[in-house]
Amino acid sequence: MAAALIAPVFPCQPLLRYSGGMTIKLICLDADDTLWHNMRHFNATEDALLDMLHPFAEAHVTRERLITCETRNLPLYGYGAKGFTLSMIETAVELAGDALTKQMIEEILAAGRALLAHPVQLFDGVEETLDRLARFGPVVLVTKGDLLHQESKLAASGLGDLFSGIEIVSDKTSDTFRNIFARFGVAPQQAVMAGDSMRSDILPALEAGAWAAFIPQEGAWAHEQAQAPAAHDHFTQLSRLADLPDWVAGIS
């Protein structure tokens, strides 16, 4: 998925400090590029589009045009492979003009279908990590994107039975997390969110008052990048999901 150039503003709020131990009662986890590989497939598809449109524009021009299309289309199409495919077609129309052929459109559509059908490859140790996290309380999947695609990836992952709840949302905001915490009957400071997106997983969870663990992955979509919070008691960065249970145990 092409990189977008938008980063959210994280509101300045008083730093919350709590004396004594804090019991974690709810674990929220992102899905794409937290539990399984995702962006590698989007990046490979984007590279194929750059090659296809090379007769009409240099790679950096095509990438910038695709960024513009995606940014403009996100409010309309949302996140996921379907919106990305439409943005690729729109980019091809803009750059190739009348030279765009039926075959080229068919190739882009085929690439989009491949994105929707790519195999789900879990990161190492995911099932064991979920089992360990369940000792602290309910483990809830919080992911955004196309409902059908996210449901199909979860089914293919074989992880569905390990979650106490599944939340597939159009976007992740502080209100999204507050509503989830309320439904599970926990205070924000009793919840943890972990994921690979600073923009969608970390900043809104912290704003909602929860704890947040950032687990970055190589090849991340620039749209999901943002400045990390400075010196926040509830924030940490981990090198892998398997380190999350020990961090949660340290909080509790």
- pLDDT at residue number 181: 97
pLDDT tens digits, one per residue of 46-57: 999 999 999 999
Tokens of 43: 């990046």
pTM: 0.82
Scored b (16 or more CB within 10 A) or e, 54-64 reads: eeebeeeebbb
- pLDDT at residue number 141: 98
**CATH number listed for the domain at residues 39-117:** 1.10.150.240
**pLDDT tens over the chain, length 252 residues:** 443 332 333 333 333 333 334 799 999 999 999 999 998 899 999 999 999 999 999 999 999 999 899 989 988 898 889 999 999 999 999 999 999 999 999 999 999 999 998 899 999 999 999 999 999 999 999 999 889 999 999 999 999 999 999 999 988 999 999 999 999 999 999 999 999 999 999 999 999 999 999 999 876 666 667 788 887 899 999 999 999 999 999 997
- pLDDT at residue number 224: 66
**Of the options 2.60.40.10, 3.70.10.10, 3.40.710.10, 3.40.50.1000, the CATH number for the domain spanning 26-36+120-251:** 3.40.50.1000
Scored b (16 or more CB within 10 A) or e, 198-210 reads: bbbbbbbbbbbbb
Give one DSSP letter per residue of 79-142, joined into a string. Answer: SSHHHHHHHHHHHHHHHHGGG--HHHHHHHHHHHHHHHHPPP-BPTTHHHHHHHHTTTS-EEEE
Cite the residue boundaries of each domain of the chain with CATH code 3.40.50.1000.
26-36+120-251
Question: What is the C-alpha to C-alpha distance for residues 27 and 134, in angstroms, rounded to an integer?
Answer: 8
Distance of CA 58 to the CA centre of its chain: 29
Question: What is the C-alpha to C-alpha distance for residues 27 and 130, in angstroms, rounded to an integer?
Answer: 10
Cite the residue boundaries of each domain of the chain with CATH code 1.10.150.240.
39-117
- pLDDT at residue number 221: 66
- pLDDT at residue number 219: 65
- pLDDT at residue number 191: 98
Q: Which residue has the tokens 């490859």?
A: 121
- pLDDT at residue number 104: 97
Scored b (16 or more CB within 10 A) or e, 154-165 reads: bebbebeebbee
pLDDT tens digits, one per residue of 185-224: 999 999 999 999 999 999 999 999 999 999 998 766 666 6
